[in-house]
């Protein structure tokens, strides 16, 4: 029996677009005919859960139904005993995995802070996607930046990914986490700051082992789509025609899916 392919959206900083990217990956996979489960570990904030609720409401108001994943929010244990809380969190995650065992993919949205539940989910990632806004503040999540690019020091989060890779290996997983760092909300204007961030991210990618891609430009459409439950892939369900900016954003999504390079392996595994 094959297991679902786990895609984790992770970054210990909020406001980087994890939930929006998660939703677009989910719908892209659903439209390709895959069975997809989604887990919201950031259930207290609940952005992905709210996005999916909005999608359900939108679907009810349309003649044609929208593709919607099986979804499960997970709240962290509130038990005052740390050991008990951790065991309850692990149990909640395993129950979610059991619920989605027949899915091709499970997409997991994590909070913008460090929690035991988030760390555990990270360790199960086949692909880990870390969106970063194009600023030195967001860059600090990955690396402690000094004036000298040769003195880059990986951050706690970057070191944690190495630990997650070790945990996967200890469980007997054959493939390491494929870590993708995605530059998000990119300005259309060139700037010294933008080029410096790109330079540092490229230098760091070889050192700590991630693939760097340019992701999505800064576009108002992403904030508008959340309220309707729609994605860039739902043009047929929208009464408004998409602009050239929307078309460009959809191309950026297609490029992300191509870079992830996961669909062929899943099709082969599903036919075994």
Whole-angstrom Cα distance, residue 26 to residue 86?
A: 28
Mean pLDDT of the chain: 84
DSSP per-residue string spanning 132-164: EESSHHHHTTTEE--S-GGG-EE-HHHHHHHHH
Q: Count of CB atoms within 10 A of residue 134's CB? A: 21
CA distance 107 to 125: 9
pTM for this predicted structure? 0.89
Q: Is 3.40.50.300 the CATH number for 5-270?
A: yes
Torsion sign across C-alpha atoms 266, 268, 269, 270: positive
The predicted-structure confidence for 66-91, as pLDDT tens digits, reads as follows 999 999 999 999 999 999 999 999 99
CA 192, 212, 256: angle at the middle one, nearest 5?
115
Q: What tens digit of pLDDT does each residue of 12-65 get?
A: 888 888 999 999 999 999 999 999 999 999 888 899 999 999 999 988 887 568
| Helical H segments across the chain, by residue range | 18-31, 47-60, 82-99, 116-122, 136-139, 156-170, 192-208, 221-228, 244-260, 263-270
Give the residue ranges of DSSP H helices in 62-139: 82-99, 116-122, 136-139
Domain segments of the chain as ranges: 5-270
Interstrand relation of 211-214 and 153-154 (parallel, antiparallel or unpaired): unpaired
pLDDT score at 271: 35
């Amino acid at each position: 029996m094959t297991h679902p392919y786990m895609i984790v959206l992770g970054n210990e900083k909020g406001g980087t677009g994890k939930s929006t990217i998660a939703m677009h990956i989910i719908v892209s996979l659903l439209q390709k005919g895959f069975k997809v489960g989604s887990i919201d570990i950031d259930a207290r904030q609940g952005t992905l859960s709210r996005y999916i609720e909005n999608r359900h409401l939108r679907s009810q108001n349309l003649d044609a139904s929208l593709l919607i994943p099986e979804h499960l929010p997970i709240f962290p244990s509130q038990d005052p005993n740390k050991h008990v809380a951790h065991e309850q969190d692990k149990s909640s995650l395993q129950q979610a995995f059991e619920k989605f065992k027949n899915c091709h993919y499970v997409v997991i949205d994590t909070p913008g802070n460090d929690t035991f539940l988030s760390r555990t989910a990270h360790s199960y990632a086949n692909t880990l996607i870390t969106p970063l806004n194009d600023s030195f503040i967001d860059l600090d999540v990955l690396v402690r930046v000094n004036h000298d690019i040769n003195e880059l020091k990986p951050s706690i989060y970057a070191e944690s990914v190495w630990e997650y890779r070790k945990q996967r290996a200890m469980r007997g997983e054959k493939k390491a986490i494929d870590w993708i760092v995605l530059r998000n909300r990119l300005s259309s204007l060139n700037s010294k700051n933008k080029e410096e961030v790109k330079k540092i991210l490229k230098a760091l990618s070889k050192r700590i082992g991630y693939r760097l891609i340019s992701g999505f430009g800064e576009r108002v459409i992403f904030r508008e789509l959340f309220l309707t439950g729609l994605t860039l892939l739902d043009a047929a369900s929208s009464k408004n025609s998409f602009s050239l900016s929307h078309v460009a954003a959809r191309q950026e999504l297609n490029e992300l899916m191509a870079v992830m390079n996961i669909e062929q392996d899943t099709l082969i595994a599903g036919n075994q």
